[in-house]
Copies of this chain bind each other. A is one copy, B any other.
Amino acid sequence: MRRDSRLSRMLHVLIHMDRIDGAATSDQIAQMLGTNPVVVRRTMAGLRDDGYLHSEKGHGGGWVLTRPLSEITMLDIHRAIGNPAFFAVGVAVDHPECLVEQAVNSALGSAFEAAEKLLIEKFASVTLADLADEFDQRMAKIADKPTCELSR
C-alpha cells in the first residue's frame, strides 16, 4: 500500500516558508520537494482554503503563510489536506449481518479507534512552531549543515 506523504511534505514546506521573505512559487516548492508545481498547487489548495496560506498570481506571486507557525498544529494540516485515513488496515464488510464479523470488527475497530485518538491528540498538541524549535535545536548541535533549496 502506497504511503501518503502529503502531511510530511506540507509540514516540511511550511516551516521553510516561515524562514524566507516574500512568496514562494509552486515551482520553487516543487523543486524543493523533488516533485512538480501542479502537485504542489493541488496539495496546497487545501491549506489555502483552510486559511493557512494565501496564493497570489503574477510577477512576484506565489504562496505565503497567513498565520504564525505557533497557530498551526500538525492536526490542522492533516485536516487541510483532506483528512486522509491514518490506517492501511481496514475491516471487511462482506457480511454485515454476520455476528462473527461484527465481533471481529468491533474488536478491530476499538483498537484502531484508540490508536487514532492517540494520534489525533498528539497531532493536535504539536504546533509547527514546536517543529521549528526542534529544527533550531538540531541546527545548534550540528552547526554548518545545509537544509534545502528554499532556505539557502
Chain A: residues with CB nearer than 8 A to chain B? 1-5, 7-9, 11-12, 15-16, 32-34, 74, 78, 84-92, 94-95, 97-108, 110-112, 114-116, 118-119, 122-123, 126, 130-132, 134-135, 138-139, 142, 145-148, 151
Contacts of A15 in B (CB 8 A): 100, 103-104
Q: Name the 8 nearest CB pairs between A and B, nearest first.
A: A3-B90, A5-B92, A103-B134, A103-B135, A8-B92, A88-B88, A111-B122, A115-B115
Q: Given A107-B131, A111-B123, A126-B107, A99 and B4 touching (CB < 8 A)?
A: no
Within the complex, what minimum Cβ distance (angstroms) separates A129 from chain B? 12
- Expressed in whole angstroms, the Cα–Cα distance for A106 and B95 within the complex equals 40
Task: Decide: A131 and B114 in contact? CB cutoff 8 A.
Answer: no
Q: Given A33-B92, A86-B87, A103 and B1 touching (CB < 8 A)?
A: no
> Can you name the residue of chain B whose Cβ is closest to the Cβ of A74?
B107
Within the complex, what minimum Cβ distance (angstroms) separates A1 from chain B? 6
Task: Decide: B94 and A4 in contact? CB cutoff 8 A.
Answer: no
Task: Decide: B92 and A9 in contact? CB cutoff 8 A.
Answer: yes
- Expressed in whole angstroms, the Cα–Cα distance for A145 and B4 within the complex equals 40
Task: Decide: B98 and A3 in contact? CB cutoff 8 A.
Answer: no
- Expressed in whole angstroms, the Cα–Cα distance for A33 and B19 within the complex equals 54
